[in-house]
Amino acid sequence: MSPADLLDLDASLTEEERAIRTVVRQLVDDLVRPHVAGWYEAGQVPARELAREFGKLGLLGMHLTGYGCAGSTAVAYGLACLELEAGDSGVRSLVSVQGSLAMYAIWRYGSEEQKQLWLPAMAAGEAIGAFGLTEPDHGSDPASMVTRARRDGDDWVLDGSKMWITNAPIAQVAVVWARTDSGVRGFVVPMDTPGVTAREITRKMSLRASLTGEISLDEVRLPADAQLPDATGLKAPLSCLTEARYGIVWGALGAARDCLETALAYATTRTQFGRPLAGFQLTQAKLADMAVEWNKGCLLALQLGRLADGGKLRPEQVSVGKLNNVREALAIARQCRTILGANGVSGDYPVMRHANNLESVLTYEGTSEIHQLVVGQRLTGVSAFT
Ligand SMILES: Cc1cc2nc3c(=O)[nH]c(=O)nc-3n(C[C@H](O)[C@H](O)[C@H](O)COP(=O)(O)OP(=O)(O)OC[C@H]3O[C@@H](n4cnc5c(N)ncnc54)[C@H](O)[C@@H]3O)c2cc1C
């Protein structure tokens, strides 16, 4: 898988998995790499156009089956996430939120009518989806959410606010989680429903090539069939997050790979004290340690992928992967930045952009601390946070 595949991991991929990876890498080379530095600087991204291109390739809801979805293996989906995030974490977020959060929620918990209505359009990238769990005052602790859905006759009426919602400013549909008299429930909310507004969150210093917003719900009246019939309790949104976190386990490796390849190329061409940076033992130690961590991260992602494909992946195993791979990817990005010296802080190179992006990746879909607590609970049998 490169840098420089120290463990021969490529050999453990099937021909089909390698072929999918090649196609996605080419797509990123063509559609993302030439433009992403500019998108990042401007804080804008042509997400709708990208979604349609990704849809044509079957990348949206890629690991789901039916309804226009590609039905790929978990490993192939992971490799696609890696290649997308080698372009930019924001671009991978677009695909993850669409496929693993919004589409997965409908695919797993929706009625046949909801699936028919939304999934084919979302798989094609014609409808963009968002997933609203986090609130202004409730992030790591979604069980305390205050967004409420109450019955009024057959209808539901939603009130509340969802914060930091990826894709919200351009979404046609959001899966919104709300408290009801019978616990947390999910709702499929068309974004043009009266009372729904999406405000873009600007001034982000991270994930700038991704659109993030606040969704306000003010007396939003929805028909009875807007509820996801099979989603009962908080375990439903948490299961969607497990899906998306799995993609992050792979995706973070993509950002780290791009940093490592950039630093390797830089170290071999930049000369100081009459020799390339790569000739200094301290530089080689950095490169070696980073490559070791990167390859270990791939091994971990591959193990989780094979478990997922065997139907045996457990949520706390995904926590192990998200915790380790994002933490190590961020450490790699920062270390690569040092190898590039002053150029490391320049937008002419991708390293600082990746490092900044990975700060968001460290926080969303469960912070590192929350994943430590999940693993801690598994080890000790004691929950430190519920
Ligand atoms: C760019 C971006 C995009 C996002 N997209 C989405 C999206 O599409 N949909 C969505 O629903 N959400 C989204 N989020 C929100 C994200 O999931 C939350 O930010 C995350 O869950 C953390 O919540 P918080 O920011 O409220 O932090 P808090 O929960 O307030 O946590 C702050 C700090 O306290 C720590 N902490 C909290 N509780 C504990 C504890 N019990 N023990 C130890 N430490 C603790 C945390 O680990 C963290 O370090 C996005 C966030 C970002 C930055």
Domain containing 258 — which CATH number? 1.20.140.10
SS3 162: strand
* Confidence bin at 104 (pLDDT 50/70/90): very high
Question: In angstroms, what is the span from residue 243 Cα to ligand 1's centroid?
Answer: 17
Question: Domain check: are 188 and 256 in the same one?
Answer: no
For residue 107, tell me if it sits in a domain: yes
User: What is the CATH number for 183?
Assistant: 2.40.110.10
Mean pLDDT within 117-137? 98
Residue among 40, 163, 164 whose CB has most ligand 1 atoms within 8 A, to mutate = 164
| Alpha-carbon distance values, 23 to 16, 18, 58, 189 (Å) | 11, 9, 11, 34
Residue among 140, 214, 327, 369 whose CB has most ligand 1 atoms within 8 A, to mutate = 140
Question: Domain check: are 134 and 223 in the same one?
Answer: yes
Question: Domain check: are 241 and 356 in the same one?
Answer: yes
For residue 4, tell me if it sits in a domain: no
Mean pLDDT within 29-38? 98
Question: How far apart are alpha carbons 131 and 166 in whole angstroms?
Answer: 7
Mean pLDDT within 281-305? 98
Question: Domain check: are 115 and 23 in the same one?
Answer: yes
Question: Domain check: are 198 and 156 in the same one?
Answer: yes
Tell me the per-residue pLDDT of 55-92, one tens digit each, with 9 for 90 and over. 999 999 999 999 999 999 999 999 999 999 999 999 99
Question: Domain check: are 276 and 374 in the same one?
Answer: yes
Question: In angstroms, what is the span from residue 142 Cα to ligand 1's centroid?
Answer: 10
Residue among 134, 147, 214 whose CB has most ligand 1 atoms within 8 A, to mutate = 134
Question: Domain check: are 345 and 264 in the same one?
Answer: yes
pLDDT of residue 3: 76
Question: How far apart are alpha carbons 110 and 247 in whole angstroms?
Answer: 22
Instruction: For the chain, give the percent of residues with pLDDT over 90.
Output: 98
SS3 294: helix
Atom of ligand 1 lying closest to residue 142 CA: 21
Task: Please enumerate in sequence order all residues whose Cβ is within 8 A of that of 50, keeping only pairs 6 or more positions apart, or say none.
Answer: 31, 32, 91, 94, 125
* Boundary-marking domain end, from 103, 123, 143: 123
Q: What share of the chain is helix, strand, coil (3-state, %, to 5)?
A: 55, 15, 30
For residue 249, tell me if it sits in a domain: yes
Question: Domain check: are 27 and 111 in the same one?
Answer: yes
Task: Please enumerate in sequence order all residues whose Cβ is within 8 A of that of 4, keeping only pairs 6 or more positions apart, or say none.
Answer: 291
* Boundary-marking domain end, from 202, 232, 262: 232
pLDDT of residue 166: 98
For residue 385, tell me if it sits in a domain: no
Question: In angstroms, what is the span from residue 261 Cα to ligand 1's centroid?
Answer: 30
Task: Please give the residue that has the higher pLDDT: either 132 or 4.
Answer: 132
Q: Give me the catalytic one of 16, 112, 365, 369.
A: 365
Beta bridge partners of 219: none
Question: In angstroms, what is the span from residue 340 Cα to ligand 1's centroid?
Answer: 31
* Confidence bin at 1 (pLDDT 50/70/90): low
CA–CA–CA angle 22, 25, 26 (5° rounding): 85
* Boundary-marking domain end, from 176, 207, 232: 232
Question: How far apart are alpha carbons 71 and 45 in whole angstroms?
Answer: 28
Question: Domain check: are 45 and 114 in the same one?
Answer: yes
Residue 359 is among the residues annotated as catalytic for this protein: no
Q: Which residues line ligand 1 (CB under 6 A)?
A: 97, 131-134, 139-140, 164-166, 207, 212, 360, 363-365, 367, 369-370, 373, 385
Mean pLDDT within 286-298? 98
Instruction: For the chain, give the percent of residues with pLDDT over 70.
Output: 100
Question: How far apart are alpha carbons 226 and 212 in whole angstroms?
Answer: 24
Question: How far apart are alpha carbons 245 and 337 in whole angstroms?
Answer: 26
Task: Please enumerate in sequence order all residues whose Cβ is within 8 A of that of 248, keeping only pairs 6 or more positions apart, or say none.
Answer: 81, 96, 322, 325, 326, 361, 365
- The chain-wide mean pLDDT, for the chain, equals 97
Question: How far apart are alpha carbons 97 and 364 in whole angstroms?
Answer: 11
* Confidence bin at 385 (pLDDT 50/70/90): confident
Instruction: Report the number of distinct structural domains present in the chain.
Output: 3
Atom of ligand 1 lying closest to residue 385 CA: 41
Question: Domain check: are 240 and 361 in the same one?
Answer: yes
Question: How far apart are alpha carbons 53 and 95 in whole angstroms?
Answer: 11
Question: How far apart are alpha carbons 294 and 159 in whole angstroms?
Answer: 44
Question: Domain check: are 97 and 138 in the same one?
Answer: no
For residue 102, tell me if it sits in a domain: yes
Global confidence as pTM: 0.98
Tell me the per-residue pLDDT of 194-236, one tens digit each, with 9 for 90 and over. 999 999 999 999 999 999 999 999 999 999 999 999 999 999 9
User: What is the CATH number for 109?
Assistant: 1.10.540.10
Question: Domain check: are 297 and 352 in the same one?
Answer: yes
For residue 386, tell me if it sits in a domain: no
Q: 22-29: long-range contacts at Cβ-Cβ below 8 A with a sequence spacing of 24 or more?
A: 23/57, 24/57, 24/59, 24/79, 24/80, 24/83, 24/84, 25/83, 25/86, 27/53, 27/54, 27/57, 27/83, 28/83, 28/84, 28/86, 28/87, 28/91
For residue 86, tell me if it sits in a domain: yes
Question: In angstroms, what is the span from residue 139 Cα to ligand 1's centroid?
Answer: 4
* Amino acid identity, position 283: T
- Residue 45 belongs to domain spanning: 9-123
* Amino acid identity, position 297: G
**Enclosing H/E stretch for 158:** strand 155-166
For residue 75, tell me if it sits in a domain: yes
